Structure 1
Amino acid sequence: MPKLSYLKALNRALGDEMDRDESVFVLGEDMNFALTNVTAGFLDRFGPDRVVEVPLTEQGFTNFATGAAMAGRRPVVEFQIPFLLLLVFEQITNQANKFLLMSGGQRSVPVTYLMPAAGWRAGWGAQHSDQPYSLFAHMGVKTVLPATPTDAYGLLTTAIRDDDPVVFFGPLAALPVREDVDYADLGPIPLGKGRVHRAGTDVTVVALGHLVHEALAVAEELADEASIEVWDPRSVYPFDWAGLAESVARTGRLVVFDDSNRACGMGAEVLATAAEEMRLTAPPKRVTRPDGAIVGAVPELDVALQPDRAQLAEAIRAVLKSPGW
């Protein structure tokens, strides 16, 4: 069975959708050079009218994509660095995402904002290492965060076909992941549908993005101590609250593993909703970056800010040992 890498899954999904629907096109900086490999081979395959090289003006080409979508096209805008999404936060959240309502349902804005390398990497520095998916979820923008190549293929396909704006985060640490796949089985995956990667009965670990793979490793390491369920929301907005409730009903205990800052992050939201609406037998815990964490340019210091396996194992053991509420 062939193996599919995360980056190849993005390349394949985008290419398949451009083959399927002539209204789909991709634009961004350095598209012709395919620096992220997402658009590798596309210039020769689809030509410059559908692989559009743009000037260094993020606000300008993001608004251009909004206009193109309103005119009947389906743009995919690639951003190479996470902070670029913050430069266009207003264009996405306050314009594209609200225009269907503001136009009384007359104009949808089917734009996909593709961020194929989000998160920390040694040497990237303070402005390149963010994970701002919580911000878009907070503003009610459809936001996806797949952990595996097959999920990346399916969710990018769904995002491109969706009539609303969708922000797609491809975690940098997940890009090397490879997966056995039958290409005939690849297809769209609905937004708001989580996935159980490992079944368990003692504690639910909600892991986001690349941390799914770290959680699976910890679950294996602690297999003699506890039966750990690893649950992946896949999309952070809409969030599969029903799926999480089913998992928590099986285990009664909850730990969230989230690569964003502690305050106002997805970890906080998951814990709050679970505490309000689900039956927990012990207080839940979260493992995140610290409050107000700012990644710099010193790898040794940056590593200390990243949620890791040791922290997750400690949180799991604490929840399991808790006497309850």
Structure 2
Amino acid sequence: MPTMTMLQALNSALAEKLANDPDVLIFGQDVGYFGGVFRVTDGLQSRFGLERCFDAPISEGGIVAAAIGMAAYGLRPVPEIQFADYILPAFDQLVSEAARLRYRSAGEFWAPLTVRSPYGGGIFGGQTHSQSPEAIFAHITGLKTVIPSTPFDAKGLLISAIEDDDPVIFLEPKRLYNGPFDGRHDRPVPTWQGNPAAEVPEGLYRIPLGTAARVREGEAATVLAYGTMVHVARAAIEESGIDAELIDLRSIVPLDIDTIVASVKKTGRCVILHEASRFGGFGGELSALVQERCFYHLEAPIERVCGWDTPYPHAFEWDYFPGPDRLIKALRRVMRND
């Protein structure tokens, strides 16, 4: 089995779908000849031709609108938005058209498109290249939102997303594309960045959307995380010495609530971790869902460990991100409520 980075695994997934499904096509800013700003689509145009992988103008609204039309016609487009921060000009198309098409047409039309976009921080990209907007999409009925944390998951989830008949927002943690990455030269690479590569099968395989992964078994507390924060959580749990269970959500819509509830009922404690701002973040929804379903099993208040409620702080990136130290403090707080 070959070893791949997340970037290579995503490229492999796209290549497999292009090779096996003539209805799949890829387009966006710089995704063709250049291979994408992060090189995720590298080599696909030369392999599959200009009609299957091509560049688009700098018009996010136009890119998504064209993809919706293609999808309604019967294709399975995979448009790329160069950074998730830039997706807002296409928001009306996603909300008013893609998310509602199946319902408003009584099932006569649907929109099987997958919008790929790098998201999150860790590359010192500043306010307009580092945001985590997943909660915005999770609020829109009709959209699915997927966030991988490993190369293996990235390929299997992307293949499932492309084959899904509903519109999917596929957010790729850019900090994990090539494994450990500093982004600031005056401090060492954090040890919680995750392995740079992992074994990834060749060919087609699928991870069903809405299926969480139990990354670590535990009895004392449950940690819920996704994307880059899965690696933060693993390091924090190991350092803390607390026997916590780690659940990687993998997709936040659909959400694997059964796995979450089973874990929290077993441990009696829950800590939620994400890098987006706390207020209005998806952690609030997770907290409400756990409270509603596990109230009589909870031994301590639910904790949320999140980014600051500020615009993205370019100069304080590593302080903004919830690192292992902040998660360890939260775990110790819930453990004091024996």
TM-score by length of 1: 0.94
Cα-to-partner distance string for 1:289-309 (whole Å, 9 max, x where unaligned): 122x211432xx232221111
Report what 2:187 is aligned to: none
The partner residue of 1:255 within 262, 265, 271 is 271
Cα-to-partner distance string for 1:219-253 (whole Å, 9 max, x where unaligned): 11122xx2111111100101111110111122110
C-alpha contact 2:2 2:202 (8 A) present in aligned 1 = no
Query: What SS does structure 2 have at the residue aligned with 1:158?
Result: helix
Report what 1:137 is aligned to: 138
- Greater shift after overlay, 271-280 or 11-20? 271-280
C-alpha contact 1:288 1:306 (8 A) present in aligned 2 = yes
The partner residue of 1:70 within 69, 72, 76 is 72
Matching residue's letter, 2:234: L
Counterparts of 1:258 and 1:36, CA distance in 2: 23
Query: What SS does structure 1 have at the residue aligned with 2:99?
Result: helix
Matching residue's letter, 1:271: S
Report what 1:194 is aligned to: 212
The partner residue of 2:327 within 307, 312, 315 is 312
Does residue 1:82 correspond to 2:84, yes or no?
yes
Counterparts of 1:247 and 1:179, CA distance in 2: 28
Residue 176 of structure 1 deviates from its aligned partner by 2.2
Query: What SS does structure 2 have at the residue aligned with 1:143?
Result: strand
C-alpha contact 2:178 2:197 (8 A) present in aligned 1 = no
Counterparts of 2:289 and 2:73, CA distance in 1: 39
Percentage of identical aligned residues: 36
The partner residue of 1:44 within 16, 25, 46 is 46
Counterparts of 2:313 and 2:259, CA distance in 1: 37
Counterparts of 1:248 and 1:296, CA distance in 2: 33
Report what 2:15 is aligned to: 15
Matching residue's letter, 2:154: A
Residue 179 of structure 1 deviates from its aligned partner by 4.0
Query: What SS does structure 2 have at the residue aligned with 1:268?
Result: helix
- Greater shift after overlay, 254-263 or 77-86? 77-86
Residue 54 of structure 1 deviates from its aligned partner by 0.9
Counterparts of 2:317 and 2:216, CA distance in 1: 30
Report what 1:218 is aligned to: 236
C-alpha contact 2:224 2:248 (8 A) present in aligned 1 = yes
Query: What SS does structure 1 have at the residue aligned with 2:103?
Result: helix
Residue 58 of structure 1 deviates from its aligned partner by 1.3
C-alpha contact 1:155 1:188 (8 A) present in aligned 2 = yes
Cα-to-partner distance string for 1:79-121 (whole Å, 9 max, x where unaligned): 1111111221111122111011111110011010001x21113
Equivalent residues in 2 for 1:236-315 (5 A)? 236-278=252-294, 279-291=297-309, 293-298=310-315, 301-315=316-330
Unaligned residue ranges in structure 1 (runs of 5+): none
Residue 185 of structure 1 deviates from its aligned partner by 8.4
Equivalent residues in 2 for 1:148-163 (5 A)? 148-163=150-165
Residue 122 of structure 1 deviates from its aligned partner by 4.7
C-alpha contact 2:151 2:200 (8 A) present in aligned 1 = no
Counterparts of 1:214 and 1:19, CA distance in 2: 36
Counterparts of 1:169 and 1:282, CA distance in 2: 32
Residue 184 of structure 1 deviates from its aligned partner by 5.3
Counterparts of 1:218 and 1:113, CA distance in 2: 32
Cα-to-partner distance string for 1:241-270 (whole Å, 9 max, x where unaligned): 111011112211000011111111111111
Matching residue's letter, 2:108: Q
Residue 198 of structure 1 deviates from its aligned partner by 0.6
Counterparts of 1:123 and 1:195, CA distance in 2: 29
Counterparts of 1:86 and 1:283, CA distance in 2: 35
Counterparts of 1:126 and 1:95, CA distance in 2: 28
Q: What is the RMSD computed on CA atoms of the aligned residues?
A: 1.4
Equivalent residues in 2 for 1:26-41 (5 A)? 26-31=26-31, 32-34=33-35, 35-41=37-43
Counterparts of 2:55 and 2:226, CA distance in 1: 32
C-alpha contact 1:150 1:179 (8 A) present in aligned 2 = no
C-alpha contact 1:208 1:259 (8 A) present in aligned 2 = no
TM-score by length of 2: 0.91
Counterparts of 1:227 and 1:309, CA distance in 2: 15
Counterparts of 2:51 and 2:18, CA distance in 1: 12
C-alpha contact 1:204 1:230 (8 A) present in aligned 2 = yes
Matching residue's letter, 1:10: L
Structure 1 residues 123 and 221, CA gap change in structure 2 (3 angstroms): closer
Report what 2:182 is aligned to: none
Counterparts of 1:171 and 1:255, CA distance in 2: 21
